[in-house]
Structure 1
Amino acid sequence: MARFFVGPLVGRITDTTEAFWNSPYYFPVTLAVTAISMLTGNVVPSTVALALLCGWMLMFCRDILAAATPFLMVFLLSTVKYDSLAVFLPCAPLAVLPIGGLLVHFLRWRAPITVGRSGPGLAAVTIATLLGGLGTIPAKEYFSPLSLYYTLGLGLGLLVTYVLLRSDLAAPRLYDLLQRLMQMLYTLGLAMVLAIGCFYMGHWAEFAKSWEIPPILFRNFAATVLVSTLPSAFYMARRSRLHLMGVLLWALALFFTGSRTALLFGSVMMLLGMLYLVRWKKLPLWIFFAVLVTAAVAVLLFGQQIYELFFGCRGDMDFINPHESRWALLTRGLQDFLHHPVFGVGLGNQKNHDIFTGVPGSMVFYHNSLLQILGSMGLMGLAAYGTLLWGRVRLLLRGGEAAHLVGLFYLGMQLTSLTNPGLFCPLPSAMLTVLVFAVLERYMDDPAYLPGRAIR
């Protein structure tokens, strides 16, 4: 197979493909392809096109990052039919495209195995996910397809993904790695902004009838993506003030998700993002305070109307209802840990199904990352995830703009994981986080790296 990809024709195709990846058109084209299904409500066209693009970039582009955006975009298409993910089943055979492309990629461009700072933590998490529930979870539940997806996807799958990415990233690049990473996150975030916009296009009559935010099934997923990718919008705004329009779109999308997580943690990230612009002298400090005062005045004058707009359709005007299932899940998570402190009850355990039933294909989440670790994997899981967290924090403490931006991304992921599945969704959240830190490691391990300086 390797011989097949040698020759002048293949060389020209490769050069053209890599030129497209390094052109200003790559990310807009990927976003436009994704928009087709979001605007039409038919998941097939964009899924097929993105799978083809992913496989093609893997086969004919030396840079593995070129395939990441179309691959991750496929999972954002779930917003189109979030209540019926079975519509993707006819597209399942398309998985051979990225899988085959990946095999070809590593046959064409073999790289020595490289493991960085995240390696030990991900290895520890792999052991914790595999042993979680030892002696507690029934074998039938442990070996069920859903359980294996989460057990392997959050452990071994992420470890393998990290090693492949980190090894491939060792090759030199002719572009600013931080800028390319932020462009990727920016594109993913814009796709979710578009998903929210498309939802309102299809439900405008319902919204205009009561002027209350209608229930959005994928609001938790949207909150995770929007909050974590928001730093990329501020990075782009630092490069050009025109992208402040992007920040405004993020703010509107965060509010109109109807997600309390998006409202609360999105506000926190907005403030931190503005401080980032102040730090880089792209936003005067007085404007930062003017925004705070304007927001405070708006709440004082129109607080009741805003509150009714956000919560009215829920039928419950409390920001946190003491009787909602989240509290029962938190209590159950603590009980599961206390009864099984060493290994927990396992990620695939269905014992709490009486409290929570998610969309098809989701496990029984506790909706809190700490209790998810303790309840599912016990003290062993706490030690494993603590090792992973410490390794990542040590990397971030090296400082510089790259560390600040990735730190904000990671903070967004961690905050949303306190109230949503977040980082316990293998795809796209957990994998995206592994990719971001693999890029940061490569960025910082370059001998030319100095905090705050871009590397080519």
Structure 2
Amino acid sequence: MNIARTINLKDLKNKYENFTLSKYYNASIFLIICMCYLFAREDIGFLILVIAIISNWILIDDMLPMILPLFGCCIIVLRLYNGWEKLVDFWPLLIWACVALVFHIVYYRKEIKKSKLLLPLLATTVALFLGGVTNISAKDYFSFNSIYYILGLGPLMLIFYFLFRHHLNPNRKYNTFDAIVDIANTIGGIVIVMLVIQYVQNIFLPIKALGDMEKESAAVSKIINTHLQFGNNLSTVLLMVMPFAFYKAKKTKWLNYAYTTLGSLECLAMIFTMSRSGILFSMMFIIFYMIYLFKDNKIRDKFKNILTFTLPLIITLIILIVKRGYWKLIFKIAFNNMSLLQEEALVLLFAVVIIGIGLYAYIDLIHKNPKKRSNILMITEIVIISFIAILVLFWKYLFGALSQLGEARVEMANIAVQNLFKHPLFGTGMGYTGMHDIYKPHGLMLNSYHCVVLQIIGSMGMVGILAYGYAFHKKYELLFKVDDKKFSYFILPIIGLHAMSIINPGIMMPLPYAMFEILILAVAENYLDRKAAKFI
């Protein structure tokens, strides 16, 4: 009797594992998040997803089924800027999640692999802990937000790196890269649906109720700024997952149109996040992917791909032209009412086009020259380091010109550079509160300079510069070793994430951005391992 019961439980466990590794599981998570978001019950969605994570850690030795619900937990709560009290009652679940994670690591322990990013991640962890030592008060250093970001960006990323290296596809049941691609495309679909729901429920209807938009521009501005204040987060997520739609478009025959359309919609969604950085990066990647799709071997496929990609863009452009008064005001508000002159707008558009073409040429150069990649990486690093050094050394002259723009980010940059010169060794730490008069973080938000470079030099000084410089070098060195057709799809999400991190917190946010970076890097390293190469 006991034997039969054991067999039944084992069969049930195997069936559950097979379900979590299937596309039906991704579809279920997709529906749960979208339905909870539609009815503004993010708390219920969050609860279901956390329970799924805990269950997966206990029942399954594979980390893959945990990725989508964890990512879902992060994005479903993005609009709760002033509604975090919905989630306060769930804090005991964090304890259970920690217990489940420890159980997973111990019970499903694996043979330890030699890992190339272990030392770089240890170095950044040390830099995070040393940041601000002797330079800020104990109260600021040990504040909840400071400890969250120190532990989240340091030890937590080490744990995720260990799990993704050792517990991702341990039984070789599926193609790891394709599974990550499916998760990324599901996330992209979720963000698009979230944005549509937000527009219909909280933007279109309230604006329509106002009547004359021009007369009520202040009210329109309040609606846009209130309900799209998480636009930077949405555009960052889209920039990370966008390349994977085009991977599936190239790989699949019958679903080519669907995935190309998904990629096109993700580009459009970035524009409608009303994030200035999202709008500019979207335009840049539209150029990038148009070149990418046009470089197909068959002439018929060239035009088929371009038509599929541009059709949603053309339809959207027609709608914008027909309702140009309506959308002109909304986009003007998105850019903080700083209307560009026609000449300035054309210069900006031209620059975006050139950068998009340049990015494609750069990726293509790396892809076609596997033997020269180390030289290309070295030259790239020299250019970037020289550029940053010039900016820092001559900042006092640049600040005089840039301060006239009246941008808060310019003031933040000035404080970061000043902190580097005042506290060159350890910076001012993640708990620094000296710029709250410019930017005061809300909830769990970082005391952020809104730029990864400024965050490193301001918060961790020379120790942080050396640690993160070493880590970035090792990360790209690893990615540059992927020498087949998957190279572009490994490196583009990282480039997109790092590009967005130049003007937003980005990878200085543990969940989901730093975790996603670690995931892609761990999958790339697994891909390069000889033992795993034939399975991945």
Compared CA separation, residues 103 and 257, structure 1 to 2 (3 A): same
- Aligned equivalent of 1:218: 230
Compared CA separation, residues 327 and 286, structure 1 to 2 (3 A): farther
1:403 matched to 2:487:
yes
Of the structure 1 ranges 373-382 and 229-238, higher mean CA displacement relative to structure 2 is found in 229-238
- Aligned equivalent of 2:338: 317
1:393 matched to 2:476:
yes
In structure 2, how many angstroms separate the alpha carbons of the residues matched to 1:329 and 1:176?
A: 44
- Aligned equivalent of 2:446: 363
- Aligned equivalent of 2:434: 351
- Aligned equivalent of 2:302: 284
Q: What displacement does 1:154 show?
A: 1.0
Q: What displacement does 1:77 show?
A: 1.4
8 Å contact kept, 1:261–1:416? yes
- Matched ranges for 1:199-238 at <5 A: 199-203=198-202, 204-208=204-208, 210=213, 214-215=224-225, 216-238=228-250
- Aligned equivalent of 2:271: 255
Question: Bigger radius of gyration, 1 or 2?
Answer: 2
- Aligned equivalent of 2:354: none
Amino acid at match of 2:113: T
1:210-237 Cα offsets, whole Å, 9 max, x none, are 4978221111111211111111221222
Q: What displacement does 1:55 show?
A: 1.6
From 272, 276, 299, the counterpart of 2:288: 272
In structure 1, how many angstroms separate the alpha carbons of the residues matched to 2:334 and 2:525?
A: 45
1:420-455 Cα offsets, whole Å, 9 max, x none, are 111111111111211221111111213474xxxx84
Q: What displacement does 1:267 show?
A: 2.4
In structure 2, how many angstroms separate the alpha carbons of the residues matched to 1:153 and 1:230?
A: 25
Structure 1 unmatched runs, 5+? 1-5
Aligned identity (percent) is 27
Of the structure 1 ranges 154-163 and 275-284, higher mean CA displacement relative to structure 2 is found in 275-284
- Aligned equivalent of 1:3: none
Compared CA separation, residues 48 and 415, structure 1 to 2 (3 A): same
Q: What displacement does 1:82 show?
A: 2.5
- Aligned equivalent of 2:259: 243
1:412 matched to 2:496:
yes
Compared CA separation, residues 423 and 101, structure 1 to 2 (3 A): same
Q: What displacement does 1:18 show?
A: 1.8
Compared CA separation, residues 366 and 387, structure 1 to 2 (3 A): same
Query: TM-score, normalised on structure 1?
Result: 0.89
- Matched ranges for 1:44-443 at <5 A: 44-169=43-168, 171-203=170-202, 204-208=204-208, 210=213, 214-215=224-225, 216-238=228-250, 239=252, 240-241=255-256, 242-278=258-294, 281=297, 284=302, 307-312=328-333, 316-318=337-339, 322-398=405-481, 399-443=483-527
SS of equivalent to 1:265: helix
In structure 2, how many angstroms separate the alpha carbons of the residues matched to 1:341 and 1:247?
A: 44
* CA RMSD, Structure 1 to Structure 2 (Å): 2.9
8 Å contact kept, 2:275–2:334? no
- Aligned residue pair count: 444
- Aligned equivalent of 2:370: none
Compared CA separation, residues 173 and 448, structure 1 to 2 (3 A): closer
Q: What displacement does 1:92 show?
A: 1.6
8 Å contact kept, 1:37–1:43? yes
Q: What displacement does 1:328 show?
A: 0.7
8 Å contact kept, 2:169–2:176? no
In structure 1, how many angstroms separate the alpha carbons of the residues matched to 2:61 and 2:295?
A: 36
In structure 1, how many angstroms separate the alpha carbons of the residues matched to 2:82 and 2:486?
A: 37
In structure 2, how many angstroms separate the alpha carbons of the residues matched to 1:199 and 1:38?
A: 9
Q: What displacement does 1:309 show?
A: 3.7
8 Å contact kept, 2:267–2:285? no
SS of equivalent to 2:441: coil
Q: What displacement does 1:60 show?
A: 1.9
Q: What displacement does 1:302 show?
A: 5.5
In structure 1, how many angstroms separate the alpha carbons of the residues matched to 2:106 and 2:513?
A: 28
In structure 2, how many angstroms separate the alpha carbons of the residues matched to 1:448 and 1:139?
A: 46
In structure 2, how many angstroms separate the alpha carbons of the residues matched to 1:129 and 1:307?
A: 44
In structure 1, how many angstroms separate the alpha carbons of the residues matched to 2:331 and 2:130?
A: 42
Amino acid at match of 1:429: Y
SS of equivalent to 1:374: helix
Query: TM-score, normalised on structure 2?
Result: 0.76
Of the structure 1 ranges 192-201 and 373-382, higher mean CA displacement relative to structure 2 is found in 192-201
8 Å contact kept, 2:157–2:515? yes
Q: What displacement does 1:350 show?
A: 0.7
Compared CA separation, residues 260 and 173, structure 1 to 2 (3 A): same
Of the structure 1 ranges 424-433 and 104-113, higher mean CA displacement relative to structure 2 is found in 104-113
8 Å contact kept, 2:452–2:505? yes
Amino acid at match of 1:412: G
Q: What displacement does 1:318 show?
A: 4.1
Of the structure 1 ranges 438-447 and 218-227, higher mean CA displacement relative to structure 2 is found in 438-447
1:283-332 Cα offsets, whole Å, 9 max, x none, are 5179659959x98xx69x96986654412366512469810211111111
SS of equivalent to 1:263: helix
- Aligned equivalent of 2:13: 14
